[in-house]
Chain A
Amino acid sequence: MTFEIFFQTLASGILMGLIYALVAIGLTLIFGVMDIVNFAHGEFLMLGMYSSFWLFSLYALDPLLTLPLTALMLFSFGVLLYRLLIVRIINAPMLSQIFTTFGIMILLRGVAQFLWKPDFRTIENSAVSGSIKLLGLQLGEPQLVAGLGAVLITSAVYFFLNRTRLGAALEATASDKEAARLMGIDSHKMFSLAWGIGAACAGAAGALLATFFPIFPDVGANFILMAFVVVNLGGFGSVTGAFWAGILVGVIQVMGGLLLGPQYKTAVVLVIFLGVLMFRPQGLMGKA
């Protein structure tokens, strides 16, 4: 393995990892605030991809241009889902919570298949395409833009959580629901907000992916498993943890694929994931 291949792989791993991080941040936010694992998170990403696809093919609007719109749509969708269904299972046993979001996952896949057929779709000739040579590495421009976009959005979420009053209220609800309620923070509003932001992050990730990844109803399955691993490794509820763990998982995946063959790239991630859980059940950056 030459240095060139190594760095080339490393770079593509980091870029993919940034997308994983963006997907996982929404997941970890929802979990952190209300202790519910959202199995339908990959489907939020899928909806984001279809939103980009239709806006592009019907109105010739570039996915990057319509990203804010896609994020906004997914935000509303997340809030709606919370108000309609999730609100009813806040105090339900863990099993019914798992199966509610799992049911939503299958439902959204079914609806996507019903409305848009199971075909693979791609976006051709978007504003960003081709590849550039950067520091001696050949990098796909869509991937580069997606990675950059993911960093920007992640930073924005981080800034929102740590530097704004609303973000502080969200964090307060995450660390102690009762205490936050006593301080006059409406937890339902915070839960809606978490679902909104969570879905918007996944939708934005979908929009960023749309220019270089095939779009189909089950596309979320490719991402949800990795997002679970990222959320676990980063520590449930930790946005910073999810960011670094996302990059780590992206790199492990491509490196594993390079060393053992692409069919084992997911296996390598899962083995390392289980290994880490053995010694640090709370994840790499989670608190015990």
Chain B
Amino acid sequence: MSAMNKFWFPAGSLLVALVLPLVVHNVSWLNLAILVLMAAQAGVAWNIVGGYAGQVSLGHAAFYGLGAYTSTLLLLKLGINPWLGVLAAGLLAAALSTAFGWSCFRLKGHYFAMATIAVAELVQIFFNEWDFGGAAVGLSVPMDRTGWLWMNFASKLPYYWLALGLLVLTLGVNWWIERSYLGYYLRAIKDEPDAARSIGIPIARYKQIALCISAFFSAAGGSLYAQKELYIDPNSVLSTALSIKMALVSILGGVGTLFGPVLGALMLTSIEEFTRILFGGTGRGTDTIIYAALIIFVAVFYPLGIVGWWRARKERADWARVAREAS
């Protein structure tokens, strides 16, 4: 990608994102945009450990749900401000991610993926039974104090700005990681773990650092979800389906790329919502079939995601040009 593209693509996207709510007033369109932003943010957070470090976690809903539950319980039981709640949720998830990493990081490949599913499943079972946390019934976020101070609004628009802000922040951290030593270490760990170890990169520590950052932002995303939806239960914020979705948006867009998850989220969420609106009412699973067919299609034919496919295409074109000029 040229330097122009590198600047103009993010700048253009941000401009579109900033202007969008001024043009779009329809509530359901605005809601779709918020869903896209939140899915993108979750994907970007997953991408830190799943993409850059190449540790395929299929249990990230554990962090997302932990975030949603932490801020909501703090608000509900202790009256703590959600802004502090988001921070507390992120920090708690980052702290607990050390246990997650400790139990899973010594495993590789499929074993790692399976173990992360098991951990997330355990967390879900726990929240399903924990009476203080609302058990299977879930928790409602009180609406008695609204406004920016309490991150609680009657209209959708402020949530759009919140979701956009969190996404930009998460992207910023990823951008920083890509350029820092951490990013180089993570890519080395992903591509050549043995070589990375032999030159003295402390693999376990850097995987854990990546996981902590990833967990922090996943949890923050979960907190925001709770504030927006005003209701959480284990099924909505801790399910395996959510874990899978967090990984899926990255895969669709491009694993280990900065904007891949954003593109993936745009695609996946739009298709999900449109098929649900068009076919969901029949109750016959037509929306699920289309959704699944899309996943299979991309996984089989575009294994590198949209960004990866675009880059490979560009590279081929460049080589073809070099070959033409040489002959």
Q: List residues of A whose CB falls within 8 A of some B CB.
A: 31, 35, 37, 85, 88-89, 92-100, 102-107, 109-114, 117-118, 217, 225, 228-229, 232, 236, 263-264, 266-267, 270-271, 273-274, 277-278, 281
Q: Which residues of A contact B300 (CB under 8 A)?
A: 85, 88-89, 92, 96, 100
Let me know if A103 and B292 touch, CB within 8 A: yes
Let me know if B299 and A107 touch, CB within 8 A: no
Q: Which residues of A contact B103 (CB under 8 A)?
A: 274, 277-278
Let me know if B285 and A267 touch, CB within 8 A: no
Instruction: Name which residue of chain B comes closest to A93, CB basis.
Output: B303
Let me know if A109 and B56 touch, CB within 8 A: no
Let me know if A111 and B125 touch, CB within 8 A: no
Q: Is B295 an interface residue (CB 8 A)?
A: yes
Please measure, in the bound complex, the distance between the C-alpha atom of A277 and the C-alpha atom of B112, giving whole angstroms. 10
Let me know if B288 and A267 touch, CB within 8 A: no
Q: Which residues of A contact B111 (CB under 8 A)?
A: 232, 236, 277, 281
Which B residues from 265 to 320 make CB contacts under 8 A with A? 283-289, 291-296, 298-301, 303-304
Please measure, in the bound complex, the distance between the C-alpha atom of A35 and the C-alpha atom of B108, giving whole angstroms. 13
Q: How far is the CB of A84 from chain B (nearest CB, A)?
A: 10
Among candidates B125, B288, B291, B292, residue contacting A263 with C-beta atoms closer than 8 Å: B125
- Taking A107-B292, A228-B117 as given, write out 4 further A-B residue pairs in contact, using a Cβ cutoff of 8 Å, ordered by the A residue number: A99-B299, A106-B291, A110-B286, A110-B287
Interface string of B100-125 (1 = CB under 8 A from A): 00010011111101110111011001
Let me know if B110 and A267 touch, CB within 8 A: no
Q: How far is the CB of A31 from chain B (nearest CB, A)?
A: 8
Please measure, in the bound complex, the distance between the C-alpha atom of A229 and the C-alpha atom of B118, giving whole angstroms. 9
Known contacts A93-B303, A106-B288, A111-B285; A270/B296 CB under 8 A: no
Among candidates B108, B118, B298, residue contacting A273 with C-beta atoms closer than 8 Å: B118
Let me know if B289 and A95 touch, CB within 8 A: no
Let me know if B56 and A95 touch, CB within 8 A: yes
Known contacts A111-B289, A225-B117; A94/B129 CB under 8 A: no
Q: Is B248 an interface residue (CB 8 A)?
A: yes
Q: Is B189 an interface residue (CB 8 A)?
A: no
Known contacts A37-B110, A263-B129, A264-B125; A96/B299 CB under 8 A: yes
Q: Which residues of A contact B125 (CB under 8 A)?
A: 263-264, 266-267, 270
Q: Which residues of B contact A117 (CB under 8 A)?
A: 284
Query: How many chain B residues touch A (Cβ–Cβ < 8 Å)?
Result: 45
Let me know if A100 and B129 touch, CB within 8 A: no
Q: Which residues of B contact A98 (CB under 8 A)?
A: 56, 58, 113
Q: List residues of B whose CB falls within 8 A of some A CB.
A: 56, 58, 103, 106-111, 113-115, 117-119, 121-122, 125-126, 128-129, 244, 247-248, 251, 255, 283-289, 291-296, 298-301, 303-304
Q: How far is the CB of A38 from chain B (nearest CB, A)?
A: 11
Q: Which residues of B contact A266 (CB under 8 A)?
A: 121, 125
Please measure, in the bound complex, the distance between the C-alpha atom of A159 and the C-alpha atom of B222, giving whole angstroms. 51
Q: How far is the CB of A101 from chain B (nearest CB, A)?
A: 9
Let me know if A103 and B293 touch, CB within 8 A: yes
Let me know if B122 and A270 touch, CB within 8 A: yes
Q: Which residues of A contact B304 (CB under 8 A)?
A: 93
Instruction: Name which residue of chain A comes closest to B301, CB basis.
Output: A88
Please measure, in the bound complex, the distance between the C-alpha atom of A169 and the C-alpha atom of B294, giving whole angstroms. 36
Let me know if B128 and A274 touch, CB within 8 A: no
Please measure, in the bound complex, the distance between the C-alpha atom of A273 and the C-alpha atom of B5, giving whole angstroms. 48
7 CB contacts below 8 A, A to B, read A31-B110, A37-B113, A96-B251, A102-B244, A110-B285, A270-B118, A273-B118
Please measure, in the bound complex, the distance between the C-alpha atom of A263 and the C-alpha atom of B126, giving whole angstroms. 10
Let me know if B303 and A274 touch, CB within 8 A: no
Let me know if A107 and B107 touch, CB within 8 A: no
Among candidates A88, A99, A113, A236, residue contacting B251 with C-beta atoms closer than 8 Å: A99
Query: Which of B117, B285, B289 counts the most chain A CB atoms within 10 A?
Result: B285
Known contacts A98-B56, A281-B106; A104/B292 CB under 8 A: yes
Q: How far is the CB of B60 from chain A (nearest CB, A)?
A: 14
Let me know if B118 and A274 touch, CB within 8 A: yes
Please measure, in the bound complex, the distance between the C-alpha atom of A105 and the C-alpha atom of B296, giving whole angstroms. 10
Among candidates A35, A94, A113, A277, residue contacting B288 with C-beta atoms closer than 8 Å: A113
Q: Which residues of A contact B251 (CB under 8 A)?
A: 95-96, 99
Let me know if A114 and B299 touch, CB within 8 A: no
Please measure, in the bound complex, the distance between the C-alpha atom of A95 and the C-alpha atom of B26, giving whole angstroms. 37
Q: How far is the CB of B270 from chain A (nearest CB, A)?
A: 18
Let me know if B292 and A94 touch, CB within 8 A: no
Q: Which residues of A contact B114 (CB under 8 A)?
A: 37, 228-229, 232
Q: How far is the CB of A39 from chain B (nearest CB, A)?
A: 9
Q: How far is the CB of A238 from chain B (nearest CB, A)?
A: 14
Among candidates A35, A85, A94, residue contacting B296 with C-beta atoms closer than 8 Å: A85
Let me know if A107 and B293 touch, CB within 8 A: yes
Let me know if A92 and B303 touch, CB within 8 A: yes
Closest 7 CB pairs of A and B: A113-B285, A110-B288, A103-B295, A107-B292, A103-B296, A96-B303, A106-B292
